[in-house]
Amino acid sequence: MFASDVRGNPCASHEPAARDAVERATWRMMSFYDTPLADLDTAMSADPSWALPHVIKAGFLLGLTEAALLDEASAHLSHARALARGAPRRERAHLDAVQQVLDGRWQAACRTWEELLVEHPRDALALQWAHLWDFYRGDAVALRQRPARVLPEWDDGDPLYPYVLALHAFGLEECNLYPQAEEAGRRALAADPRVPWAVHAVAHVMEMQGRFEEGSAWLRQQQPVWAEGNGFAVHLWWHAALFRLEALDTQGALRLVDKHLSGDALQVDLQRVDAASLLWRLHLLGEDVSAACLRLLDAWPGDDGAAGHYAFNDLHRVLALLGAGEVSRAEAWIARCAERAMRAEEARRSNHPMAREVGLPLMRALVSFARGDADGAADAIFPLRGAAHRFGGSHAQRDVVDQTLLAAAARGGRRALGRALLNERRLAKPATPLTRHWAERVGDCAEARA
């Protein structure tokens, strides 16, 4: 006879202390208030025979998208497998899904979690993880549909309900359903103000709608919730810097880099990616960020296993290298990524099509841009825009591709392409100082005067 967790999901542990610790760990993964590692260690001590805490620790480590953590995650999964023989099917499904993530089969893992959620729609762990890897795969439809399928099954009195609502808000935003996304995000925060993912979803709405002044005010208003003791703070400071850039306040963005997106603030690759993206955007606007890029690279582990592990991270490392003026090092990194993508054993990994179809062509186009071939870069980047979502991230993160394309159009002879991009942009959101900047550079006089 199995026990149950607080939502009635079957659970192998009969130790209340272990179950409580796993519940806290799940809340930490959804809220970003500290990591779940200490809670999982508590659960393991309270019930050494329970496999699930080891599965969760492996999943958390893999979610950081760092190749250096693969061995540690694998060890936890091996230990969990030895303990899981008599576990409920739900927990064995989690083990299977996290193993699929370790193997690089992200789409298969999401299918496993999808099947689990059909049977157990209040499995917060399955929802959180599926949402995370939907994001890494750039699957906007799943980001919207998956929380929508389970949300009506949740009691709005559940302490995790606002966090589920926040996942729903972000999925709505990534599907361009901005009013609905903002309403869901604000409703989540009304239920519990300590939901940084909801703050994040509303910030994304304001970014996509060009509401840069309101967005800056929004993050300042919510700052006491997310700025201290929260692992999501770097990403929200990145959003604050994007609002500064939309206002063409490059000095304000640079101050945020110095205070919040450099040095000890950057503990994991997900945070380094944000710093690289921001520095590259500043570089495109004419700021000298070479020293900051070099400092970022010095603190960015570059072991052999990192190249080609995840195309999204690879591209951002190349942005940092090019921003530092290290073109040869960027080419060497791309060569290592390409060599890995050619290996037969890589074909089963989700990163394989990401790298071959999006990551590698984009990185090579960036090198062309850095070497002064603006037209070649523009001609290479433009056809990739429609596929860029396939290597993950959000619309706001992938806008770095369009920003680079606008810069290439401005520097070379593809001015008509630049004006076409601005036409698309002005129909998506009101003209901002940043949009007017690019209009001036590509010779779109009507937009420059707007």
pLDDT over 50 at 121, yes or no: yes
pLDDT above 70: percentage of residues in the chain? 98
Q: Does residue 102 register a pLDDT over 60?
A: yes
Across the range 83-89, mean pLDDT stands at 94
Q: What is the tens place of the pLDDT at every residue in 290-337?
A: 999 999 999 998 776 799 999 999 999 999 999 999 999 999 999 999
Quote the pTM value. 0.96
Q: How confident is the model at residue 344 (pLDDT cuts 50, 70, 90)?
A: confident
The Cα 6–Cα 20 span in angstroms is 9
- Total Cβ atoms within 10 A of residue 57: 27
Per-residue pLDDT at 445:
57
Q: Which domains does the chain have, with CATH numbers?
A: 262-413 (1.25.40)
In this prediction, residue 450 carries a pLDDT of: 47
Q: Residue 126 — pLDDT band, cuts 50, 70, 90? A: very high
Q: Are 148 and 165 spatial neighbours (Cβ–Cβ below 8 Å)?
A: no
pLDDT at residue number 1:
78
Say if residue 49's pLDDT is above 90: yes
11, pLDDT greater than 60: yes
Number of Cβ within 10 Å of residue 440's Cβ equals: 14
Taking all residues of the chain, what is their mean pLDDT, rounded to a whole number? 96
Predicted local distance difference test score (pLDDT) of residue 111:
98
What percent of the chain lies above the pLDDT cut of 90? 95
Does 447 score more than 80 pLDDT? no
* pLDDT of 305: 79
pLDDT for 302 = 77
Model confidence at 203: pLDDT above 70: yes
Task: Give residue 449's pLDDT band: very low, low, confident or very high (50, 70, 90).
Answer: very low
pLDDT tops 50 at residue 105 = yes
pLDDT tier at 446, thresholds 50, 70, 90: low
Question: What average pLDDT does the segment 366-390 reach?
Answer: 96
Tell me the pLDDT tens digit for each residue of 50-71: 999 999 999 999 999 999 999 9
Give residue 98's pLDDT: 98
Residue-wise pLDDT tens digits, 129-177 = 999 999 999 999 999 999 999 999 999 999 999 999 999 999 999 999 9
* pLDDT grade for 448, boundaries at 50, 70 and 90: very low
